Amino acid sequence: MTRLKLAIQKSGRLAEESLALLERSGLKFAKSKDKLFWFGETLPIDLLLVRDDDIPRLLLAGVCQLGVVGGNVAEEKAAEKARQNETETTLEPLLPLGFGRCRLMLAAPEKGAIRSVNDLDGKRIATSYPELTLRYLKARGVQADVVLLNGAVEIAPSMGSADAIVDLVSTGTTLRANHLEVIDEVLASEAGLYRCPNPLEAEAEALIQTLLTRIEGVKQAAEAKYVMMHAPRAKLADITALLPGAETPTVLELEGDPHRVALHAVCTEQVFWEHLERLKEAGASAILVLPVEKMLA
Ligand code: ATP
Ligand code: ZN
């Protein structure tokens, strides 16, 4: 019987949401005491809990077939492989997951001499992402020295060990505290489901497909709403047009009222108060918006 291994971050910014997404997709695990390997009970997919930085290597080595990791970490590894001319072994993203959003930014001292990437020729850039930084510089024809730091990157300019930095930024508070300002975006990142590059046997590929379909369903259901209301029969077309991302609605008789109907629809886009107010203006009443737990198109 084929079993797949899926790696997620053990603890950190991606850990909770990665596990929650898998659980919402119907995966249940027997948690082991050492908390490194969890046996998959509902699908033959086992969990490996590791440091996020290890996930690309585990996928490339074929130790795991699937992994949830930030685009920043996956692309850093892919850029390294591409530079070593191993393009055929890059990591393959299957699906963006919509959490763990962050941006890798070029930043330099506030009101300093570096105003754009073109001012970086011959300068030193501190970063934990040397490959993405080199790729970014190369694409712009800039020659600079990349200084690898594995932490406290943002203090490098004030310590005099770099002229600029490339670092992950979410709010910008850390940058401001160190008197740095953003010059340019190097990479926009979110967590993704990644797979090993080599093709697997048919049963394993089918299992990956099952997981993908379920995760896509969970992602869709997160936004989707089931909307019910009463509406004037004469206004059906207007009202349907006001529903965000709705397919053809279901229309039901209202006992004893020939002019009004009950209308049910699944809205696949977010439903806001503004939508409900416009529906009411168009003559709808008794409007209910219900969450959708699962969806299989
Ligand atoms: P580990 O011990 O697993 O190596 P870590 O310290 O490298 O953990 P975290 O800080 O938990 O990692 O971040 C994991 C991922 O979360 C990052 O690689 C990135 O994709 C994403 N992320 C989202 N927002 C941020 C942010 N504001 N700063 C850093 N990373 C972020
Ligand atoms: Zn890490």
Instruction: Indicate whether residue 12 lines ligand 1 (CB < 6 A).
Output: yes
What pLDDT does residue 89 have? 67
Q: If we measure between CA atoms, which residue out of 112, 62, 49 comes closest to residue 89?
A: 62
This prediction's pTM: 0.85
Domain with CATH 3.30.70.120 in the chain: 224-291
Per residue of the chain (297 residues), give pLDDT as tens.
Answer: 899 999 999 999 999 999 999 999 999 999 987 779 999 999 999 999 999 999 999 999 999 999 999 999 999 999 998 888 776 667 878 999 999 999 999 999 999 999 999 999 999 999 999 999 999 999 999 999 999 999 899 999 999 999 999 999 978 899 999 999 999 999 999 999 999 998 999 999 999 999 999 999 998 888 899 999 999 999 999 999 999 988 899 999 999 999 999 999 999 888 999 999 999 999 999 999 999 988 887
For residue 183, give every residue at least 6 positions away whose Cβ sits within 8 Å of its Cβ, in sequence order, or none: 105, 106, 107, 108, 114, 115, 116, 117, 164
Residue 204 token pair: 């394993």
Q: How far apart are CA 17 and CA 210, in angstroms?
A: 20
Q: Whose CA is nearest to atom 22 of ligand 1?
A: 100
CA of 155 to the centre of ligand 1 (A): 18
List all residues 6 or more positions away from 82 whose beta carbon is below 8 Å from its beta carbon. 90, 135
Substitution candidate for ligand 1 out of 50, 51, 72, 102 with most atoms within 8 A of CB: 102
pLDDT at 87: 65
SS (H, E, C) the chain: CCCEEEEEECCCCCHHHHHHHHHHCCCCEECCCCCCEEEECCCCEEEEEECHHHHHHHHHCCCCCEEEEEHHHHHHHHHHHHHCCCHHHCCEEEEECCCCCEEEEEEEECCCCCCCHHHHCCCEEEECCHHHHHHHHHHCCCCCEEEECCCCHHHHHHHCCCCEEEEEECCCHHHHHCCEEEEEEEEEECEEEEECCCCCCHHHHHHHHHHHHHHHHHHHHHHCEEEEEEEEHHHHHHHHHCCCCECCCEEEEECCEEEEEEEEEEECCCCCHHHHHHHHHCCCEEEEEEECCCCCC
Ligand 2 centre from 278 Cα, in Å?
A: 47
Ligand 1 site, residue 72, Cβ cutoff 6 A: yes
pLDDT of residue 296: 83
The Å distance, Cα 52 to ligand 1 centre, comes to: 8
Distance 152 CA to ligand 1 centre (A): 14
Ligand 1 closest atom vs CA 72: 20
Output the CA 14–ligand 1 centroid distance in Å.
7
Residues of the chain with CATH 3.40.190.10: 4-99+191-221, 102-188
Q: Whose CA is nearest to atom 29 of ligand 1?
A: 168
Minimum CA distance residue for ligand 1 atom 20: 70
Q: Is the CB of 9 under 6 A from ligand 1?
A: yes
Among 36, 50, 91, 168, residue to substitute to test ligand 1 (most atoms within 8 Å of Cβ): 168
Pairing mode, if any, of strands 164-169 and 102-109? antiparallel
- CA distance from start to end of the chain: 28
Q: How much distance in Å is there from the Cα of 105 to the middle of ligand 1?
A: 15
- Long-range contacts of residues 77-81, Cβ cutoff 8 Å, at least 24 apart: 77/131, 79/131, 79/132, 79/134, 79/135, 80/131
**Under CATH, what is the fold of the domain 224-291?**
Alpha-Beta Plaits (3.30.70)
Q: How many CA atoms lie within 13 A of 184 on its CB side?
A: 13
CATH for 4-99+191-221 is: 3.40.190.10
Looking at the structure, give the CATH architecture of the domain made up of residues 102-188.
3-Layer(aba) Sandwich (3.40)
Structure tokens at 188: 């926009």
The atom number, within ligand 1, closest to the CA of 53 reads 4
d(CA 212, CA 239) in angstroms, rounded, equals 34
